[in-house]
Amino acid sequence: MDILLIVLVFLVTAFLVVVIGSVVVARQRQVQDRLTTIQHMTADADPEDVLRLPFLQRVIAPAISGFGHFFGRIAPKEIRSRMDKRIMYAGTPWNLNFYSLLAVQLMVGGGFFIIAIMLLRLLQVGGLQMVGFVTLLTLIGFFIPYAVVSSKADTRQHQIRRSLPDALDLLLVSVEAGLGFDMALKRVAQQMPGPLSEEFRRALDEIRMGSTREMALRGVAYRCGVSELSSFISSVIQSEQLGSDIANTLRVQSEYMRQKRRQLAQEKAMKAPVKLIFPLIFFIFPALFVVIMGPAVIRIFQMFDLMF
């Protein structure tokens, strides 16, 4: 009896080991087969398909990326974080990242360095003036790409800040008409083209792919870097967590955004006289003096000629 029990336990154990082993081996074999297939697909890729790509994608883009990675490793973390944020606020133009932007900066700075050397050779300038001029022109060339990206970021943030009150009004009307918040966001994205609608559309895509509404909306606030939009998203998330009426939250936020835009317009109007001082002094007043005093000065000179 004991021998039969031992044999039975041995057979059951062996059966379980074989079954589990076969399952594990089968899964590993499937993964290995897929990896082998992918490797064969990559190895058997038609070289003509690669050659059909533009020269920029085949040669220039990988070279720029490698160049940026080489110098980006020694860049301080704070500078890298700041540049990444500016690129993200600009909407990632031209598929830029920190390394590619750094590579472009180095190349443009090097180009300006060569131009400065050639100009100074033609003008036969040397000494400290040559060093200062070359350094200045190289730094200007180095910072031009970052200035372009930063300008695009400021422009994009300004567009988002201007379109936000109108987007909130349309969102409020849609919610009060009976649409859900996600459908109201979709309607805003369809009716109002611009960077804000693009961000709302991206958030809806993330929600559709399984992300929570809170994470998707916080991603919008993080990518835009606009304080008014961050305040609105925080209010919406808090309203959803507390279970309050989303329409009242949207109404309050809409009124606040309208008031905020009105205050910004009044602030710009108050700054306008100060900004007009320099154009008045250097451009308008000289022209007025020429028109007003010119005939009198000519008459005075004519009188002096008659007297003497």
- The string of pLDDT tens digits covering residues 245-277 is 888 888 888 888 888 888 888 888 888 888 888
**Average pLDDT, stretch 142-162?**
92
- The string of pLDDT tens digits covering residues 201-248 is 999 999 888 888 889 999 999 999 888 889 889 988 888 888 878 888
Quote the pLDDT of residue 154.
93
One-letter identity of residue 55: F
Phi-psi map region of 93: left, alpha, beta (phi>0 left; psi -120 to 50 alpha): beta
| 221 and 200 Cβ atoms separated by less than 8 Å | no
Pinpoint the alpha helices (H) of the chain.
2-43, 47-51, 55, 61-72, 77-89, 98-123, 128-176, 181-191, 195-208, 213-224, 227-242, 246-275, 277-279, 285-307
Quote the pLDDT of residue 37.
56
At 119, the pLDDT band (50, 70, 90 cuts) reads confident
* pLDDT at position 151 over 90: yes
Domain ranges of the chain: 56-153, 157-272
At 7, the pLDDT band (50, 70, 90 cuts) reads very low
CA distance 150 to 160: 15
Quick one: fold of 157-272?
Receptor-associated Protein (1.20.81)
The predicted model scores a pTM of 0.69
